[in-house]
Structure 1
Amino acid sequence: MARRVARPGQARGKQNTRFQKGGFTFETNAGFETTLMHSGPVKELVAAKTSELAAKMIKAAPLGPHQHTDEFAIKKNITPYVEQVGKEWVGYVVIEENERARHAMLQERGYRDPAGRRHKGRFFLKSVLEKERVD
């Protein structure tokens, strides 16, 4: 029976990528990343960053006419969530879970009133996301 010979540049099976410098060897297939991403400190870090982002969005949100009712105020309908998706912790910022309070996105993108006049968008959510962007 003939053995298959690998040609140069053709990978066979599981390949380890190694980095060695100064007596330290790093193997990418060691599996520590998965253990680290499932750990409690990573969940706490994701939760902290998500709530930080939500707090900045709440601060930037316009007051509007509904300042005292929880049901329709934009600032009171921005909520951070953290959940596990696959093997990672993911943070979400939900804008207005209440389906009756739909004016936050109208404030963000702009709208036309019943008389047909165009109202310019404020882009408060977009500006917060642009400030938090990592280049």
Structure 2
Amino acid sequence: MARHVASPGNARGKRYTRFQKSGFTFETDMGFESQIMRSAGVRAVVEAQTAELAGKMVKAAPRGPHVTTDAYSIKKNIHPYVDTVGNEWVGYIVIEENPDARHAMLQERGYRDPAGRRHRGRFFLKNVLEKERLA
């Protein structure tokens, strides 16, 4: 089990916790949670989850009427990124990094064409996010 020992001379200062079975010691004032969140293992988990979600968004995205090239379609412009925010790894999914790409958000939420006709949204991004949320 755990044994708490106060450092000598300062009863309210640093506290050490030693786990008897594994011989592991950490100081409670070092913020071990933030050290864990900065670790490479957590980064790998965040990368995997972000890539999986981006893959599902690519699969759900509309294909588009591109005859000669598909480089400007929505499917080719959904990319996952992982970056640090403060002391934690955060996964981002960027849509339409290319300014020449089809407008994914117009496809998502709907739009009016120049003639004034309303085109309803497809809500492909919203549907993927709703399926992935925790209940």
Aligned to 2:7: none
The answer for the alignment partner of 2:52 in structure 1 is 52
Distance 1:48 1:68 in 2: 33
Gaps of 5+ in 2: 1-11, 16-26
TM-score by length of 2: 0.75
**What's the counterpart of residue 106 of structure 1?**
106
Deviations 1:32-67 (A, max 9, x none): 211110100000000000000000000000111126
Aligned residue pairs total: 112
Tell me the distance in 2 between the aligned counterparts of 1:115 and 1:84.
45
TM-score, length of structure 1 as denominator length:
0.75
Runs of 4+ in 1 over 6 A off after TM superposition: none
SS at structure 2 position matched to 1:84: strand
Match of 1:76 in 2: 76
State whether residues 73 and 102 of structure 2, in contact with CA within 8 Å, keep that contact through their aligned partners in structure 1: no
Conserved in 1, the CA contact under 8 Å of 2:72 and 2:100?
yes
Cα shift at 1:28: 7.3
Alpha-carbon distance change, 112 to 89 in structure 1, aligned in 2, over 3 angstroms: same
Structure with more strand by fraction? 2
Deviation, 1:102, is: 4.0
Preserved CA contact (<8 Å) 1:83 1:89: yes
Distance 2:112 2:95 in 1: 21
Q: Percent identity?
A: 68
